[in-house]
Amino acid sequence: MRRTLLRETAHQVIRDAIVRGDLAPGSVVRDADLAEELGLSRAPVRDALARLADEGLIETKPQSRTRVTPLLSRGVRDAAAVVRAMHELAARTAVPRLRDEDCDAMAAANDRFAAAARAGDVDGALRADDELHDVLVRVCGNRAVAATIERYTPLIRRLERLRFSAEAGRQSARLHEHLIDACRARDTARATEVTTEIWRELEDLAD
């Protein structure tokens, strides 16, 4: 039990450091250095790095270096395409089931998103963006959709941080408004179309 908890802790801390950019793309990571910094033994750190390699955030070559994957890679673009497809499926399934309260929750999240983007608060913008899209994922009720999005979101989060740190953040708020309007009208086709446009931006960034 203790080893499992230590391994989970190491995984979460290292993953978050990669996603935030504290461990920069391409930077070399050493299990001994990370273990010392985290106050852990090397075993849970090695386990965490192996798991992060499976998730595409770390790349390891035998008898060579272990490093954070580049920001732009085939794996990142593939993950962005998968996340887009899952959000499209969530929109198609959820929109006919939405209640007015769900649309209100999306609108409130977009207000928080826009305020955070204006203030240059990237972390706040990301939280609000997650809250907005999570409404459709929740109402969709497809556990496989939710699990797949959760699985691949860390790999694309670095791209999202770039997107929300510039003018594109304001553009995203406008697209969110179009999505919410389609949801209020229960226009499934339009909501799916806007969802595609929103998430296609990440694939364009990866390209």
Does the fold of domain 74-206 match that of domain 2-68? no
What CATH topology corresponds to 2-68?
Arc Repressor Mutant, subunit A (1.10.10)
Question: Closest Cα to residue 188, out of 108, 93, 123?
Answer: 93
Contacts for 175 with CB less than 8 Å, ≥ 6 apart: 194, 197, 198
Question: Closest Cα to residue 189, out of 199, 173, 178?
Answer: 178
Q: pLDDT of 61-80, one tens digit each? A: 776 788 998 877 788 889 99
Cβ density class 84-120: b for 16+ within 10 Å, e for less:
bebbbbbbbbbbeebeeebbebbbebbebbbebbeee
Domain spans in the chain, listed from the N-terminal domain onward: 2-68, 74-206
Question: Three-class SS of residue 103?
Answer: helix
Q: Which pLDDT belongs to residue 89?
A: 98
Element at 58 (helix H, strand E): strand 58-60
Average pLDDT over residues 86-114: 97
Q: Which residues, listed in sequence order, are joined to residue 68 by a DSSP beta bridge?
A: 58
Q: Is 52 exposed, middle or buried (0-12, 13-18, 19+ CB in 10 A)?
A: buried
**The pTM is what?**
0.82
Question: Closest Cα to residue 140, out of 182, 98, 179, 171?
Answer: 98
Distances (CA, A) of 15 to 80, 83, 130, 140: 18, 18, 18, 28
Q: pLDDT of 148-206, one tens digit each? A: 999 999 888 888 887 776 566 778 899 999 999 999 999 999 999 999 999 988 777 77
Q: Is 64 exposed, middle or buried (0-12, 13-18, 19+ CB in 10 A)?
A: exposed
Question: Closest Cα to residue 188, out of 68, 95, 54?
Answer: 95
Domain 74-206 grouped into CATH 3.30.70.20: no
